[in-house]
Structure 1
């Protein structure tokens, strides 16, 4: 039985410019075991723990000469690797080209890229497009990595910038990246032309102390303010389960990360750029004239960077979802009915639905956590499911 519930406590203060009826995520066949933990049956396919490579301040995008070798650093993007991708890659390649002129490198100079995430693969293809041909990627693995588990939400919500100057620099990278995805969508990007489309994003309008979805910083605001994405609208969303909420609608780009990574792999193969599975213990172990350090969390050791740390993201991957009817994102803080007042950071979502793969629910943002605390993980998985069931209007079992 579906619980019908309407939360209009703050509707009177929000003029509705839209009224939309949306298919709810199907969570009727989800269960908790005797310990209250989420079971991977029915509508839940898999529990996923992913570590974001956070860096205090800005990502490290820099170039240096170490003797005859040029080292370009490109890491520390947190959960915003896809959001800052093209801006970061373009900046790193430009820095390298300056160094290449100084060192008088030609197009056949040997280049080693450490890391096979979105940064490593995109920079390899960008270098090739620029004219460099002797490229290889070295990585411990290129499956089950953060770039594949990423939700694919283009928004400034998972960085550790510390001041307004850093925020503005990150926003410039993000805007340059947005322009890259616009080219992908139009089919005019020089590297890939699939896996990206505009999508509606819904966040709350409720005020502190109210129940339901609360007003949220979505990370789309800088794009909308710059006129690069549509201005948000206020209105009402009614889900197929019967629950209704006043919400704010944005639009941003959704990047299907699995499609994009497969496209990168296909393009790498076509250009004979190998991905070699090896563990790099030190940057000194790489003897080629050029090294791109795209090692993510590994940069803490490889570059002796104490600013790099893990941020734990937990996701529930879904099964049996009507994805054609679920082409939207929910990114909102949420106050469950009757629960203690929410104490999470105001710029982080509690309800986070993405239509990637079979659909997923998330996500946690736990700083300085390496994911090894299983008891905490299970408690967080349980919270994710409980609160999503309440949000979408399903009874708790």
Structure 2
């Protein structure tokens, strides 16, 4: 059994024995690139719709039309979902009273990600009956690639006030997921459950998993989720590490999006595949701008930019034994020390889909640098193989 940091240093109220992610059949080709065969199902490049500062949640009147903006959540769209949607709908209803709109007022929602679909269903629940969604497409979108990890990460807040505002949206979202989990949410009641999250305890300069900001801390400090415990994790491969264990909600994004789609069909809310080049092209009385990266262009907002993420979707995993999350910085044994920011994870496993490894956080990157992408895919696989206790260079 290998242990990269002393057990003596850390108290161990838990000793968790976990199945390791299966990476025996994960390979590099002759050029050192990850091959999408065996345990690797596919390599995914995804772009998060970041916005410098807070996400844009606002409402404005332009003559007889009301425009509501709901975008710029970065990689925290699912973490801020219900709080953001409730705020946007509240702002709209204030404008609706000013304009004396009735429940048949025509509403167009632009964007078919989690924000767009959740806001359409929330409007229906509030009594509005003339709703449509317009989106370029809704099958290969960021909301489906998202890992579904309820945590305050991948935002671009610039000061403590903005951070607190984002945390309040996240707290309201947590309450929403608690209702989903308990079966009492008015829109959906599946795809969400509590899960263990493991992160490192090591200090800078040590090898193995290092102390990491997980994004769960604000919820734990507010007493809404359990405070972390310190202990030891041993994987089925024999490697063992001192780690912290948090609890948070895991959202199976594919399950939830499928549930949204069923609810939309039941309520006869159409999703129209069409490109919107300008908000001026939409003539309905109400427009919700929820189109992710495209929302910045539609609203002439230069604070919106892409943050690239890379994921390795897995295959052949014993998911019934992998109901946990790893989110930790990691210093591979014998590798040069790196000076990455403390809030960026190097080992990132989620049980979403068939299981996945990732994710990178590369600001102002549109994913077009294929050489960089391949280098990062290689690093993801190599370091996850080391972390979970496999040989470094299988061929």
TM-score range, shorter chain: over 0.9
Q: How does 1:258-277 map to 2 (within 5 A)?
A: 258-277=254-273
3-state DSSP class of the match of 1:203?
Answer: strand
Contact between 1:332 and 1:349, CA under 8 Å: does it hold in 2? yes
For residue 299 of structure 1, the aligned residue among 285, 295, 302 is 295
Q: How does 1:161-310 map to 2 (within 5 A)?
A: 161-310=157-306
Q: CA deviation at 1:10?
A: 3.7
- State whether structure 2 residue 141 is matched by structure 1 residue 148: no
Deviations 1:337-390 (A, max 9, x none): 011112221101100000001000000000000001110000000000000000
Measured in 2, the distance between the counterparts of 1:56 and 1:80 equals: 13
TM-score, with length taken from structure 2: 0.99
Q: Which residue of 1 aligns with 2:351?
A: 355
Measured in 2, the distance between the counterparts of 1:300 and 1:272 equals: 29
- State whether structure 2 residue 31 is matched by structure 1 residue 56: no
Unpaired segments ≥5 residues, structure 1 = none
- State whether structure 2 residue 363 is matched by structure 1 residue 375: no
Contact between 1:115 and 1:294, CA under 8 Å: does it hold in 2? yes
Q: CA deviation at 1:155?
A: 0.2
Contact between 1:93 and 1:123, CA under 8 Å: does it hold in 2? yes
Q: Which residue of 2 aligns with 1:42?
A: 38
Measured in 1, the distance between the counterparts of 2:307 and 2:341 equals: 14
Q: Which residue of 2 aligns with 1:102?
A: 98
For residue 131 of structure 2, the aligned residue among 130, 135, 147 is 135
Q: CA deviation at 1:5?
A: 2.8
Q: CA deviation at 1:299?
A: 1.6
Measured in 2, the distance between the counterparts of 1:229 and 1:99 equals: 35
Deviations 1:211-263 (A, max 9, x none): 00000000000000111101110000000000000000000000000000000
Q: CA deviation at 1:300?
A: 2.2
For residue 33 of structure 1, the aligned residue among 20, 29, 42 is 29
Q: CA deviation at 1:273?
A: 0.2
Deviations 1:149-201 (A, max 9, x none): 00000000110000000000000000000000000000000000000000000
- State whether structure 2 residue 115 is matched by structure 1 residue 92: no
Measured in 2, the distance between the counterparts of 1:218 and 1:14 equals: 19
Q: Which residue of 2 aligns with 1:6?
A: 3
Contact between 1:10 and 1:206, CA under 8 Å: does it hold in 2? no
For residue 67 of structure 1, the aligned residue among 58, 63, 71 is 63
3-state DSSP class of the match of 2:76?
Answer: coil
3-state DSSP class of the match of 2:129?
Answer: coil
Deviations 1:297-332 (A, max 9, x none): 002210110000000000000000000000000000
Q: CA deviation at 1:30?
A: 0.8
Measured in 2, the distance between the counterparts of 1:189 and 1:286 equals: 31
Unpaired segments ≥5 residues, structure 2 = none
TM-score, with length taken from structure 1: 0.98
Q: Which residue of 2 aligns with 1:319?
A: 315
Q: Which residue of 1 aligns with 2:120?
A: 124
Aligned-pair RMSD on alpha carbons?
0.6
Contact between 1:6 and 1:242, CA under 8 Å: does it hold in 2? no
Measured in 1, the distance between the counterparts of 2:338 and 2:234 equals: 23
Contact between 1:48 and 1:314, CA under 8 Å: does it hold in 2? yes
